[in-house]
Structure 1
Amino acid sequence: MVIPVHDVNPVRRTPWVTYALIAANVLVFLATPGMAGSVAGGSDLSQLCHLQAFLDHYAAVPRELIHHQMPQLVPTGAVQNGPGGAGCAVAPPGYDKSAPLSVFTAMFLHGSWIHLLGNMLFLMIFGNNVEDRMGHIRFTLFYVVCGYAAGYGFALLNADSGDPLIGASGAIAGVLGAYLVLYTRARVWVLVPFLFFLPLRLPAWLVLGFWFVLQAFYSAGEGVSEAGTVAYAAHVVGFLAGMLLAWPLKAGTPPPPEPRGLLFGRRARPRHTW
């Protein structure tokens, strides 16, 4: 698996929507119960109960999306002691959950710092150019549509699952698909783990094509969505949706310039030879 770090593809305008999406995802993560301090150590039972209640309220659940089967009992966030030991208390929900709206809220939820930072890295590298080509408003709509396509696509393939689906990766997969269509010839600096991290500059079609093939390969297995697992099928659907939505713009998108004298996207100092 290669890790992208920078693309050689300058933009014409400031990607305000991309920056806003990154800021919103970070802020929501910090506000998610038990997540902000998850790097320092494990969560206690109280934090886990609060997190479970939070996710049941705001995450997308395939069974709710497809069958409209809302749970009769949900975690309250409190700890309850019983004959079998302590556990999370449950009660009838004190709120009305909209299943379609939960797909949108789930796009801003993440299960760990690694989950969050990995998604934001891909959004930062590839989102700015797609936003630059589409414009701020169209890019915002595009991002949301890809997120919904990924969420409902995953739900259709796992219609009976009651596990929460969270993360921005479905929408970001759509951004990757659009980038592949619009900037096929762009170059991307990546780190390849080979004994140590080896920096290479590869074409976008190779980096993103390899990523998509990997997601499709993994999605051939049984898709799961709870914390600690990856909804690969959502990535595949989001990627394909992004490609289809971006295709009408391909003809008007010139290939990115190939600046000379760049080192990791920064202009290198001139070298003198003897």
Structure 2
Amino acid sequence: MFIPLHDANRLRYIKHQYMTFSIIALNIFIWALTSLSGVESMQAAVLGLGYIPSVVHDLAVLPPELELVPAPLTYVTYAFLHGDIFHLGGNMLFLWVFGDNVEDALGHFRYLLFYLVCTIAAAAFHGMTVPDSQAPLIGASGAVAGVIAAYLILHPRVKLWVLAFARIPLRLPAYIVLLLWIGTQFLMFVIDRENQISWSAHIGGIIAGAVLVFPMRRRGVPLFDRPVVVPEAVKVK
């Protein structure tokens, strides 16, 4: 639908988005490591580190040689695997554009915690909708969906440069672009249950991000782009 390019939204509380950089770098490193190791190694990583609902819910088991981590850890590990460079690139582009300002509003450590909780929530909601599925869930899109939801609540009026339909450059308020994106995720969840994309994971991340940004933001950080009131000297007539 759209590709985000840039937002004119400066950092207010931090100098650099170290945690966003680190998450992106880790995703790229893991993708390079798994993709360059060959098809068999990639498949083993997807089965051993991907989130498989039937395995997590004790309805199925993996062969011992594929159990790379305990099943509960796959609530997190799945989000650092990607199927191909386009899958990786799309998720990391969204995280690059929107992650820095969410990190700015939350602080480095709380942003990392926020990202991981959104990751877990995305997998949990996916697992609730298809509890007996044997298909591995991979990709950071659920966590990124949480970042998008938080950004919408923090900065709905910021102007974004996007490519609409991957062709038309437009400068639009964030609330138009992001509400449309979020609405599409819910619509696709209802009408497209057989697609390879886990719309339920996106919804789980969106809900978690929208809820968590309220208690996890820095004290005094406004919501919905409201201006911060700076006390002035009292004027006496």
Aligning the two structures, in what range does the TM-score lie when normalised by the shorter sequence? 0.7 to 0.9
Structure 2 Cα separation of the partners of residues 95 and 237 of structure 1:
26
Which of the pair is proportionally richer in helix?
A: 2
Residue ranges of structure 1 left out of the alignment (5+ in a row): 38-46, 74-91, 258-274
Amino acid paired to 1:233: S
Are 2:105 and 1:133 equivalent residues in the alignment?
yes
Moved more, 117-126 or 232-241: 232-241
Amino acid paired to 2:144: I
Contact in 1 for aligned 2:49/2:68 (Cα 8 Å):
no
Are 2:234 and 1:243 equivalent residues in the alignment?
no
Q: Deviations over 1:63-122 (max 9, x none)?
A: 122x2234253xxxxxxxxxxxxxxxxxx4364641110121111000010000000000
Amino acid paired to 1:213: G
Moved more, 131-140 or 183-192: 183-192
- How far residue 230 of structure 1 moved from its aligned partner, in angstroms, is 1.1
Contact in 2 for aligned 1:4/1:191 (Cα 8 Å):
yes
Structure 2 Cα separation of the partners of residues 94 and 180 of structure 1:
39
Are 2:61 and 1:71 equivalent residues in the alignment?
yes
CA pair 162-200 structure 1, distance change in 2 beyond 3 A? same
- How far residue 222 of structure 1 moved from its aligned partner, in angstroms, is 5.3
Contact in 2 for aligned 1:224/1:231 (Cα 8 Å):
no
Secondary structure (helix, strand or coil) at the match of 1:110 reads coil
Contact in 1 for aligned 2:188/2:199 (Cα 8 Å):
yes
Q: Deviations over 1:25-55 (max 9, x none)?
A: 00000011xx249xxxxxxxxx433322221
Equivalent residue for 2:9?
A: 9
Secondary structure (helix, strand or coil) at the match of 1:107 reads helix
Contact in 1 for aligned 2:44/2:66 (Cα 8 Å):
no
Q: 2:28 aligns with which of 26, 35, 38?
A: 26
Equivalent residue for 1:170?
A: 142
CA pair 169-149 structure 1, distance change in 2 beyond 3 A? same
Structure index of larger Rg? 1
Secondary structure (helix, strand or coil) at the match of 2:5 reads strand
Map 1:1-274 onto structure 2 (within 5 A): 1-12=1-12, 13-32=15-34, 35-36=35-36, 47-65=38-56, 67-71=57-61, 73=63, 92-93=64-65, 95=67, 97-193=69-165, 197-221=167-191, 223=193, 229-248=196-215, 249=217, 252-253=221-222, 255=225
- How far residue 223 of structure 1 moved from its aligned partner, in angstroms, is 4.0
Structure 2 Cα separation of the partners of residues 96 and 113 of structure 1:
23
CA pair 161-252 structure 1, distance change in 2 beyond 3 A? same
- How far residue 190 of structure 1 moved from its aligned partner, in angstroms, is 0.7
Q: Deviations over 1:163-184 (max 9, x none)?
A: 0000011111000010011111
Contact in 2 for aligned 1:4/1:190 (Cα 8 Å):
yes
- How far residue 218 of structure 1 moved from its aligned partner, in angstroms, is 1.1
TM-score normalised to structure 2 length:
0.86
TM-score normalised to structure 1 length:
0.75
Secondary structure (helix, strand or coil) at the match of 1:199 reads strand
CA pair 94-192 structure 1, distance change in 2 beyond 3 A? closer
The alignment-based identity, stated in percent, is: 40
Tell me the matched-pair count: 222
CA pair 221-93 structure 1, distance change in 2 beyond 3 A? farther
Secondary structure (helix, strand or coil) at the match of 2:80 reads coil
Structure 1 Cα separation of the partners of residues 204 and 191 of structure 2:
15
The alignment's C-alpha RMSD in Å is: 2.2
Amino acid paired to 1:123: L
Which of the pair is proportionally richer in strand?
A: 1
Contact in 2 for aligned 1:176/1:239 (Cα 8 Å):
yes
